[in-house]
């Protein structure tokens, strides 16, 4: 009789997962997905009330979670928090910000704010979690919520695109360095997802037309569209996947 191979588990029982930017939008969805898959979720963000409500909701649904106040742009404070609460088997960094202006109107302040969170904060959060795993001699899966804009350009998005292209670059380098230690590093690259962060864009009819023309599946994204992707990359189902980007973009970048 033929012995059939078995699909690796998508479950995360016994894993500790840090989700940065968990208080709303994609980060909240990722925290819910990882908890549903069995992970203990440390939900981190700057807003205590929203984190408390998320943790309460996860626990009410039968999951395991706790809240952690965290600002990824405060490197020293972030390092201290990660060291105190880790090591983490899974990291999902969904903390991000946007400063959308025409390139000719970009201010140095907007540039610095976007880079402090999207690039500098993301880089050193990856480093801090990896250091904890290496010290503990453990493998892990480190995931950054990047963007389709890390692979293409967009109107009024020069600074945002710059930060996300840079994220894609350090992801590949970290994957090469930490692969021999069993630490995988990947990104999830969504198209436009309906969240509080994108509400301003969706209130502009010309931008909505542009988005709908570019998404080949004919609809914008919802938070639920990201949840399966994050469980896949966090779990053993993606055990041979590192240094790459999982595009959840409805076909935007296919052309």
Q: Is residue 44 part of a domain?
A: yes
Among 15, 123, 164, 232, the one annotated catalytic: 164
**Would you say residue 4 lies in a domain?**
no
Q: Which of 160, 204, 216, 232 is catalytic?
A: 160
Of the candidates 216, 139, 137, the residue with the CA atom closest to the CA atom of residue 175:
139
- 208 domain-assigned: yes
Q: Please report whether residue 254 resides in a domain.
A: no
Whether residue 25 contacts residue 196, with contact meaning beta carbons closer than 8 Å, is answered with yes
Cis check for the bond before 139: say yes or no (omega within 30 of 0). Answer: no
Let me know if residue 99 belongs to a domain: yes
Q: Answer yes or no: is 137 within a domain.
A: yes
Is residue 164 among the annotated active site residues? Answer: yes
Residue 6 lies in a domain: no
The CATH number of the domain holding residue 119 is 3.40.50.720
Tell me the C-alpha distance between 144 and 9, whole Å: 22
Could you report the per-residue pLDDT of 74-103, keeping only the tens digit for each? Answer: 999 999 999 999 999 999 999 988 888 999
pLDDT of residue 135: 98
Q: How many domains does the chain have?
A: 1
Q: Tens of pLDDT along 134-193?
A: 999 999 999 999 999 999 998 889 999 999 999 999 999 999 999 999 999 999 999 999
The mean pLDDT value of the chain amounts to 95
Please work out, in degrees rounded to the nearest 5, the angle formed at the alpha carbon of residue 159 by the alpha carbons of 105 and 127. Answer: 150
Q: Where in the sequence is the domain holding 91, given as residue range(s)?
A: 16-247
Q: Contact at 8 Å (CB) between 19 and 88?
A: no
């Amino acid at each position: 009789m033929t012995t059939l191979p078995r699909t690796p588990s998508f479950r995360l029982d016994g894993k500790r997962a840090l989700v940065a930017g968990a208080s709303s939008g994609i980060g909240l969805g990722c925290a819910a997905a990882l908890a549903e898959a069995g992970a203990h979720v440390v939900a981190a963000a700057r807003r205590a009330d929203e984190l408390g409500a998320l943790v309460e909701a996860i626990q009410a649904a039968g999951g395991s979670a706790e809240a952690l106040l965290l600002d990824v742009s405060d490197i020293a404070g972030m390092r201290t928090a990660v060291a105190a609460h880790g090591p983490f088997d899974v990291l999902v960094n969904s903390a991000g910000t946007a400063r959308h202006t025409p390139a000719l109107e970009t201010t140095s302040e907007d540039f610095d704010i976007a880079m402090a969170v999207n690039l500098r904060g993301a880089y050193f959060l990856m480093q801090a979690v990896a250091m904890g795993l290496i010290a503990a001699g453990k493998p892990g899966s480190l995931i950054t919520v990047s963007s389709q804009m890390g692979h293409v350009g967009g109107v009024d998005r020069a600074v945002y695109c710059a930060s996300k292209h840079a994220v894609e670059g350090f992801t590949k380098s970290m994957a090469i360095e930490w692969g021999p230690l069993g630490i995988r590093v990947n990104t999830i690259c969504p198209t436009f997802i309906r969240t509080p962060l994108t509400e301003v864009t969706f209130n502009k009819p010309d931008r909505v037309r542009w988005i709908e023309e570019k998404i080949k599946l004919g609809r914008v994204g919802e938070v639920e569209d990201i949840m399966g992707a994050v469980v896949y990359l966090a779990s053993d189902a993606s055990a041979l996947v590192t240094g790459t980007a999982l595009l959840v973009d409805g076909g935007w970048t296919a052309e």
